[in-house]
């Protein structure tokens, strides 16, 4: 029988980073499993109800901060990041400035990132298992990306991939914040990376720009006010108080990232799967609203957007149409949907119609204006 081959842990981490880069990860770091420093903040956030209707957040509770309980045997976590801003997409600010267009959060323009990152993490695990063959180390692992009760930002911080910005997202001096995070929980005792110092300073740009005031403290977001939560996670009626502030954002919101100075250093993604599909980087609202459920399911196949379902998709577009300048075509499209609308959709369509009609020009004043001009007055 051959003797086990020794393996230097530092060399192994260097090898893991190299493999990660080959698989498209723009950052790879190592964290241990001690996240106890994050538990008080998590409990406070839950106690204040900032998780909204995401009851699974409360159900999992402190499990999010205890990786070794989530996956018994976990010793180290390989944390990764992957850039997602597509190079050929329409300029976000230009889309937001056109009320007849719909704004889709840049992370959702292409293929569902859950699938992309999980497949790459699986490949990394396969390569690592092969690397360990004959060393006496049997790899045990679980791969995650926004798919389990994991404090991803906290893990990534500990792994040295960046710091938690005031908007609660991870920030990197080299990559800004336009990236996804993923984790590979392992039973390997690997040397951990050192956290990086935060570099937000006195900047409050993300707090100031938030359309609904959802960033209630440094690094704390009240999901109940967040447009991403309202348009994606919320299953029911969007509170009237936030509908005008949503503007033309039909899936998510990137305002806090668009204004962040560190995103000057963000890089476009080379990942083909993240390129915009079906013109979602600059879509016409009326064209989207004209889709039926079959078209939605077909065109959103493989997209993170499909998860919210056709009803919520229509709900969000109805609000955006209500916020657009008055247009008889918009009024007609909204009225045409009323007959077969669910109670939830009907409520939002009726609100949108009321908003449109409130901005309808006063036609009765037109003859007087013309007459006055004709008479030389």
Strand partners, 163: 171
From the number of C-beta atoms within 10 Å of its C-beta (0-12, 13-18, 19+), residue 27 rates as buried
Separation of alpha carbons 133 and 196, rounded Å: 34
From the number of C-beta atoms within 10 Å of its C-beta (0-12, 13-18, 19+), residue 189 rates as exposed
Tokens matching residue 164:
């938690």
Q: What's the chain's Rg over C-alpha atoms?
A: 24
Tokens matching residue 276:
């915009």
Separation of alpha carbons 80 and 29, rounded Å: 6
| 146 among known catalytic residues | yes
Query: How big is the chain, counted in residues?
Result: 377
Separation of alpha carbons 335 and 321, rounded Å: 12
Q: Which candidate in 53, 98, 146, 218 is catalytic?
A: 146
Active site residues: 146
């Amino acid at each position: 029988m051959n003797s086990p081959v020794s393996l230097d842990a530092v060399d192994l981490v260097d090898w893991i980073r190299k493999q990660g880069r080959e698989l498209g990860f723009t950052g790879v770091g190592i964290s241990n499993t001690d996240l106890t420093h994050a538990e008080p903040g998590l409990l406070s956030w839950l106690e204040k109800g900032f998780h909204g209707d995401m009851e699974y957040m409360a159900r999992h509770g402190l499990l999010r901060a205890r990786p070794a309980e989530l996956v018994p045997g976990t010793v180290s976590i390989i944390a990764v990041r992957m850039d997602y801003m597509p190079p050929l997409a329409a300029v976000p600010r230009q889309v937001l400035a056109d009320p007849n267009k719909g704004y889709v959060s840049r992370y959702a323009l292409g293929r569902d990132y859950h699938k992309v990152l999980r497949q790459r993490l699986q490949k990394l695990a396969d390569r690592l298992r092969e690397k360990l063959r004959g060393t006496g180390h049997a790899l045990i692992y679980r791969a995650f990306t926004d798919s389990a009760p994991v404090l991803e930002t906290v893990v990534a911080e500990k792994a040295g991939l960046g710091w938690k910005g005031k908007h609660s997202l991870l920030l990197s001096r080299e990559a800004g914040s336009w990236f996804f995070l993923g984790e590979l929980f392992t039973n390997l005792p690997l040397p951990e990376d050192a956290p990086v110092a935060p570099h937000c300073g006195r900047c409050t740009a993300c707090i100031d720009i938030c359309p609904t005031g959802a960033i209630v403290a440094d690094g704390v977001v009240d999901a109940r006010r967040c447009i991403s939560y309202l348009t994606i996670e919320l299953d029911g009626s969007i509170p009237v108080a936030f509908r005008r502030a949503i503007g033309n954002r039909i899936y998510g919101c990137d305002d806090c990232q668009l204004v962040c100075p560190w995103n000057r250093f963000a890089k476009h993604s080379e990942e083909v799967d993240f390129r915009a599909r079906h013109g979602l980087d600059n879509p016409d609202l009326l064209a989207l609203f004209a889709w039926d459920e079959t078209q939605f399911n077909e065109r959103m196949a493989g997209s993170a957007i499909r998860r919210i379902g056709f009803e919520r998709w229509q709900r969000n577009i109805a609000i955006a149409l209500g916020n657009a300048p008055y247009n008889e075509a918009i009024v007609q499209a909204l009225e045409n949907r009323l007959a077969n609308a669910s109670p939830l959709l009907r409520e939002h369509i009726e609100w949108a119609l009321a908003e449109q009609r409130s901005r309808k020009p006063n036609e009765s004043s037109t003859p007087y204006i013309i007459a006055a001009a004709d008479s030389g007055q």
